[in-house]
Structure 1
Amino acid sequence: MPADKLIELGKTVSRRLRANPQVQVVEGAGTELFCFQNFLDPLECGGLVAMIDADRVPSTVYATNDDKHFRTSESCNLARTHPFVHAIDAKIDHLLGMKNRQGESLQGQRYAIGQEFKAHHDWFHVEQPYWQDERKRGGQRCWTAMIYLDQPESGGETSFPAAGLMVTPRAGMLLAWNNASPEGKLNSATLHASLPVTSGIKNIVTKWYRERFWC
Structure 2
Amino acid sequence: MIVWSPAMSADAAERLKAAPAVQRVPTPKLDLYRRRDFLDPDECAAIIAHIDRNRQPSTIVDDYGGENNFRTSETSHFDGDDVLIDTINRRLSDFLGIDAVFGEPMQGQRYAAGQEFKAHTDYFDPGGAAMREIRATAGQRTWTAMIYLNAPDAGGATRFKVIRKSIQPQTGTLLVWNNLKADGTVNSATLHHGMKVRAGVKYIITKWFCERPWSPA
User: What TM-score do the two structures reach when normalised by structure 2?
Assistant: 0.94
- The residue that corresponds to 1:82 in the other structure is 82
- The residue that corresponds to 1:50 in the other structure is 49
Whole-angstrom distance in 2 between the partners of 1:85 and 1:127 = 33
Higher alpha-carbon deviation: 56-65 or 11-20? 56-65
Return the letter of the residue paired with 1:28: T
Whole-angstrom distance in 1 between the partners of 2:137 and 2:82 = 22
Cα deviation, residue 137, structure 1? 2.7
Whole-angstrom distance in 1 between the partners of 2:11 and 2:184 = 13
- The residue that corresponds to 1:40 in the other structure is 39
Return the letter of the residue paired with 2:132: Q
- The residue that corresponds to 2:23 in the other structure is 24
Name the Cα RMSD after superposition.
1.4
- The residue that corresponds to 2:68 in the other structure is 68
- The residue that corresponds to 2:157 in the other structure is 157
Overall identity of the aligned pairs, in %: 41
- The residue that corresponds to 2:176 in the other structure is 176
Deviations 1:15-42 (A, max 9, x none): 1111101211111350110000000001
User: What TM-score do the two structures reach when normalised by structure 1?
Assistant: 0.95
Whole-angstrom distance in 2 between the partners of 1:9 and 1:182 = 10
The residue correspondences of 1:193-212 to structure 2 (distance < 5 A) are: 193-212=193-212
Cα deviation, residue 157, structure 1? 0.4
Whole-angstrom distance in 1 between the partners of 2:26 and 2:167 = 12
Whole-angstrom distance in 1 between the partners of 2:190 and 2:206 = 15
Return the letter of the residue paired with 1:165: K
SS at match of 2:95: helix
User: Residue 107 of structure 1 contacts residue 205 of structure 1 at CA under 8 Å; is this kept in 2?
Assistant: yes
Cα deviation, residue 68, structure 1? 2.1
Q: How many residue pairs are counted as aligned between the two chains?
A: 212
**Structure 2: runs of 5+ lacking an equivalent:** none
Are positions 1:126 and 2:126 aligned together? Answer: yes
